[in-house]
Structures are given as structure tokens and as C-alpha cells.
A and B are shown apart, each in its own frame.
Chain A
């Protein structure tokens, strides 16, 4: 479910992106970067690693508004928190209206409700909160042991989109979500053809912000943001609770997930992980800084409303995309041993010069018959020296 695209026609082949990928989803093939759509978790590491700005994550464009009779734009708390005053929030909502949306919906009461639900979810063991698509995918790929520990609660944007559509069954509604990070761009029908979602289009905040900025000049209608929702977007502002573990930053969450796998966090009821520093406020598609944004919350919040949501909307639909490995244990062991045998012949530097992320991938390719030891650049050089 990758939203990351490679745009360079000429690549310097520095392999920084290949090396940066935590799920080893990038490889170099025929002088181009190939991203494994299934294993990519949209963490943005490769985008930051590329010195040539050759990797991007784009959302839908505003032109898509014209494809619908009635359009709704969802504004996440993480975006509102980057505005310094109530007045600025009103201006933002007005600017979005000027862009052509018929209705602008603040997500903060829904975000509050979903977090409230997560806290009250009946638990007799540890659970992981499930509102970050990056965490959900990371768990599925790198920590499958914990997959059944993810709360079965839906994303706030999905809940809101479904509620809006159910309210107007006869209207042809287009729901657009403003996304603060690449991972959330995948939670929409377009532009990445993930047709199972309720949100129709994912927009990248950083891409449309320049247009919004020029339109932000007036706004008379008071937008009442819920503080209960705004505070859930960052580990810096979320309410402290001894039963809830909150962590942010990619390396920290890897550490926490490993601890959870070893059963060391059973004292906690809920583990809430934010891969971005400062939480969703620090999303990579946001223009500002998470730490400065947190001080805006008291300024912009006017209520403590928690949306009253019908039970059915909380349930996250299950999309089966798990590949079942049908090989017998004998076949699996035989393959594993064969790969290890090749791995011992390789230098083990994980230098990526061959285009593959690690020597283990190379060993697998050799066993699969797609490559030979001669494709290893290090072995080739050593042979030349001799």
C-alpha cells in the first residue's frame, strides 16, 4: 500500500534510500528504484534520505473536487494545532470553502471519541492503539506476533466519512481528507486506488498549503474545536495515565514493540505509538514544528466535546491481505538452510551495491535462481584483486 513514488530519470545510485528503508522494501533494478508496494509502510525515511529529492509522496489534486456534486473536506486536529489563534482557524476553514468544498468538517470531536473509546475498550491484556496506519503496517510486517494486539477500532477519518455518507444516502458525495503524513495518504480511494476506504481523496497538506495561505484573509464563522480531540494528536499533550504507555519517534517505537513481543509490557493496558516525533503534529507533510504547535492548543480550543458516535462506526473493517505460506515445515527449513549456505559465502556488509537491501536478500535471490555470487560487487572486486 505504498504511496511513495520514484521520480528521477537519472539517479546517482547512492543507495541511501535502499539503506534507509526499515522494512527493506526498496531495491535497485535496472538503474531504477523499485518499491515493494506490500512491504512499504510509508514512513518517509527514503524521501528524507534522497539527496536529489527524487522520491515523493503525493496526494490527489484539487481538480478532483469537480467530479462530485457535493464535497466535504475533513480537517484533522493535527492541522488545526498548527494555527496560532481561533481567528486563524476560522480563516483556514473559510479558505478551504473558497477552494470549492461545500462543507468543511473538523475532526477533533471524532478523534476525541475514538481515543475515549480506546481507553474504555474492555481489556484484560495489553493492546496497541490502531489509529496510525504506519504503526499498523509496521506491526503486520515486522512484528506479526503483535498483530492481534491491535485494537479493532477504525480511523477517525473513516468514521467521519462513513457517517457523512450515511446521512446523505442520495447525494453523490466526495469526501476529501487533509493528510499530515504519507501513511495517511493511503487511507483513501484515490489517488492510490485503495477502494476499500470511505474517504474518496487524500490531499497532502504540504502541497495545497501554499494555495490555502493566499486565501486565508477572513473568516467570520466561529469554528469550535474540541480540546479533547486536539490533545490526542501528540504525546506531549495527551493526558497522562499510568495504564497507558505513550511513545514517539520511529526508533523508540521499534524498541517498544520489541519489548511488547517479549511480554515485558503486560502491566500496561494500552500502548499508544506515534512514529513521528511530537506525534501527528510532527507529520512529514506538515509545514510547522510539532513542539511549537503544542502551545496553540489552549489558544484555539473552545470546547471539550466528545462526538457521540454510534457503536457500529467504531468497528474497523477487516481487509484480508495476508499471504498464507503453504509450504511444509520441511520445505521451509530446506529453503532457510539453503539461503544460510549462500549467505555464508557473501561478505555480509549489507552494502547494497548489488541493488538489494541486505546480503540475505542476495542469498535468497541466488537460491531462487535469479542471481549468482558473481552479482555481488564485493566478491567481484576481490576476485579482480587476486
Chain B
């Protein structure tokens, strides 16, 4: 069993992706297969930048259980997703100009995350969004 918590800071474009990098490195050190790592890398990066750009930061929890199931929980500080159905539509985006200029905010975030993860659960309210993803490591 392994539990790790990482902090993500609001609008911190400078360190964007660093948590995902750490998560990926840690899972590689444990000895997970490359195939699963790729999916996790794609999902966690996407979710992490969502937190930085839209969701006032928050924290990311990683849990690896003894069966090899990897659970990533992205807990952000708001403002929530007003229309979840729209947010799950490819191409729909609310990213501001700053984010778009940097190449983010193409409106594929949640769609891609759902595509690569084994289970996808999202709960959203104005106080924040909790995104829970699992990956079968074994």
C-alpha cells in the first residue's frame, strides 16, 4: 500500500506538469509496466493542468493498493464545472487567452482523461471538483 499527496498551485504555469512527472517517476521506480504508465502520464498531466488553469489549484492523491490498482484523486478548489455534459464534449473549452496562447485549452481534456483511464468518476460543485481515476496496474 502506498499513499502520496501532492500540492498543485493555482495559475502556476511555471511548474505545470511537475506533479505528473513525479507520479510517473515514482510508478516507474516501483516497477509498473510502461504501457500503463503512458496512460497514467497522459491522464494525470491533463488533470493537473486543468487544476492550474481553471480550478484554483488543489491537491492530487495517489494510492497504490496491494493488488496493483492505482487510484488518482484530483481535488480542486473550485469553481466547479457548471455543465458537466458540455465539458465532456470534445472541443468545448473555457480556457482563457493566456492558456490558449500557451497551447492549452483545446477542449479535449476530460475527454482524453476518460479515454485512457480504467474508471472515471467526477463530482463537481461550486466548492470544487473531485475527479477520481483508477488504473489496473496488474
A-to-B contact residues, CB < 8 Å: 144-148, 258, 261-264, 325, 327, 329-330, 332-333, 336-337, 360
Interface residues of A, dominant DSSP? helix
Q: How far is the CA of A329 from the CA of B29 in the complex (A)?
A: 12
Does residue B107 face the partner (Cβ distance < 8 Å to A)?
Answer: no
Please measure, in the bound complex, the distance between the C-alpha atom of A147 and the C-alpha atom of B35, giving whole angstroms: 10
Give the total of B residues in contact with A, Cβ under 8 Å: 24
Closest Cβ of chain B to A54, distance in Å, is: 31
B2 touches A333 (CB 8 A): yes
Question: Among A258, A263, A329, which residue has its beta carbon within 8 angstroms of that of B112?
Answer: A263
Q: Specify the chain B residue showing the minimal Cβ separation from A332.
A: B31
A-B contact pairs, 17 of them (CB 8 A): A144-B34, A145-B24, A145-B37, A148-B34, A261-B24, A261-B37, A262-B17, A262-B20, A262-B41, A263-B42, A263-B45, A264-B45, A332-B31, A333-B1, A336-B2, A336-B31, A337-B2
Q: Which residues of B are found within 8 Å of A262, using beta-carbon distances? A: 17, 20, 41-42, 45
Residues of B within 8 A of A (CB): 1-2, 17, 20-21, 24, 28-31, 34-35, 37-38, 41-42, 45, 64, 66-68, 112, 137-138
Nearest CB in chain A: distance from B13 CB, A: 15
* Contact flag A330-B31 (CB < 8 Å), given A261-B24, A261-B38, A263-B45: no
Q: Which residue of A lies closest to B42 (CB)?
A: A263
* Known pairs A261-B24, A332-B31, A336-B2; A145 contacts B64 (CB<8 A): no
A145 touches B41 (CB 8 A): yes
Q: Which of B17, B24, B34 has the most CB of A within 10 A?
A: B34
| Given contacts A145-B34, A263-B42, A337-B2, A329 and B68 within 8 Å (CB-CB) | yes
